[in-house]
Chain A
Amino acid sequence: MSDKQKLVDVKNLKVHFPLFGGVLSRRVATVKAVDGISFSIKRKETIGLVGESGCGKTTVGRALVAILRQLYPDVEIDGSITYNFNGKSVDFARLKPRELRKYRSKVQMIFQDPFASLNPRMTVAQIISEPLQLHTKMNDSEMKDRVGWLLDKVGLQPEQAYRYPHEFSGGQRQRVGIARALATNPDLIICDEPVSALDVSIQAQVINLMMDLQEEFGMSYLFIAHDLSVVEHIADRIAVMYLGNVVEFGESSTVYYDPRHPYSKALLSAVPRPDPHRQRESRIVLEGDVPTPLNKPSGCGFRTRCPLAEKSCAEEIPVLEEHALEHWVACPIVKEKNAG
């Protein structure tokens, strides 16, 4: 894979949130939300990011749009998020806010809750043209044309531009959110659980729309979700996260049908499939809950629930290794077994 194809390269990204407490508000603990992950997104590619709640998927998404510092001023970000915009390489983890502003239009976001992510006091036209006002020098009539064109692209009527969000249904609102993200011609759209708040039939419509738009405009998606069947369908490659680490990364069908890491195996066997004839004996039901990222187990984060855990797992954090072509797994025990 040449570097030209790569849109963004995340290397050893760590996002730690310090917790302060006590009378003198000393630092009492650190939430290691993301603890050293690396992956890359190619152009016109969809990466699926899956994992249970609290594993740091959303934090990764926010780090990629570089809004963590604005949300949490105390956050500690380490590692690099190198974007490649038309040959110019930019590290979002290091850039100052003023310099970042130039590139913000290139990375946009779609949110989970279409009811909370649109300002109820702005019309749809205002919502969609807000990024245009910030990032482009369009005049009013150009902007109006652009809004109409965008609405048409996402399957709404341009006449609906002067309505308010409450006049739309959930699926239509999500379409408005997509139009807003599209407005500035981004290279990457971070989709943070874009369909999980929608009804099944509307979900399919929105997924179809997102695939069509990718076909037409060629942007990349980082698709964060917990519905694995949807992710498998839409994503080219899948990264499985557990407690702030990527435990498995590879082609989506490989990860979905031939998971190697014990956590991915358990996660995928837990996913209910719409097939009543499926044999159920194969299901691995994990014991207990995810440990808190405040107090992570030493070594491999998954060893407390892992059926394969050995003594050596507590000693060092496993790194992603290429077990098969383009299939990375962070588990030395699985590798040993496969080799032996």
Chain B
Amino acid sequence: MKNIIEIRHLTKKFGEIVAVNDLSFSVKEGELFAFLGINGAGKSTTINILCKQLAKDAGEVLIDGISQDVDSAITKRELGVVFQNSVLDMSLTVLENLESRAALYGLFDKDCKDRIEELARLLDFSELLRRPVGKLSGGQRRRIDIARALLHHPKILILDEPTTGLDPQTRSLLWRVISDLRKSEQMTVFLTTHYMEETTDADHIVILDSGRIVAEGTPLSLKNAYTGDFVTLYGVSEEAVKALGFPYTSHPGGYRLMLPSTGSATALIIAHPELFVDYEITKGNMDDVFLAATGKSLGEERGK
């Protein structure tokens, strides 16, 4: 698969602050790419440069093989963006919003009408077309945001924390639609999120900290590289757990030990059978990867 996005040695400074520091990575066509980092890590700056909303200080950005510096009108046509907060016009109806945005891509009259109808069926908002966007619920509005981003059949869909604040049902619907689109249209999805479980299906993950890449790979390779196994022991005393000599945290009804590998977990069970009466072994999750790679927790970000 070819690279649909290539970022080479990208740098952006705001005064003395280096927001993005010599960043290089690529995104393959059709993949779900997750771009992670706490607030201020440089994610939004990178996305803004990618969308040509912000000028870069150094480096190069290629979309589908074309440098943004050569022709941003072409590269912009390849992008559909769902912003963190809805940027639609609250006083206008859904239809008026979509028609005005479709015009920006040269979609008018029948072409425009057909595409809006198609998206309304796909995202299940046909009954909302005549309602003002300001009167919609958060979930309904998000569906319209995604429809707006998809109006012109973009090759790349940029989702900037698309499901923040949404109910589980709407999140599930959005992910189903996005997943279908990826399959049917070979669409590349560039995702930033604070929900680590949304990255488990990603083909490639980049974790950013202070404007630099601190980890990248598939979810499995990152888990193998950054986390071990977790053994949760129930009905034991803290003294007994402490005596095992592994880092642990308190867990409802017991304690959670962090072990470097499955092998060391097995050895521990064999060595201390009296403690392993009620226990479970799990692999580390993406939250653990993030914590290990950055030393920071995304849980704090979600709370903000």
Chain A partners chain B: no
Q: Could you tell me which A residues sit within 8 Å of B by CB distance?
A: none
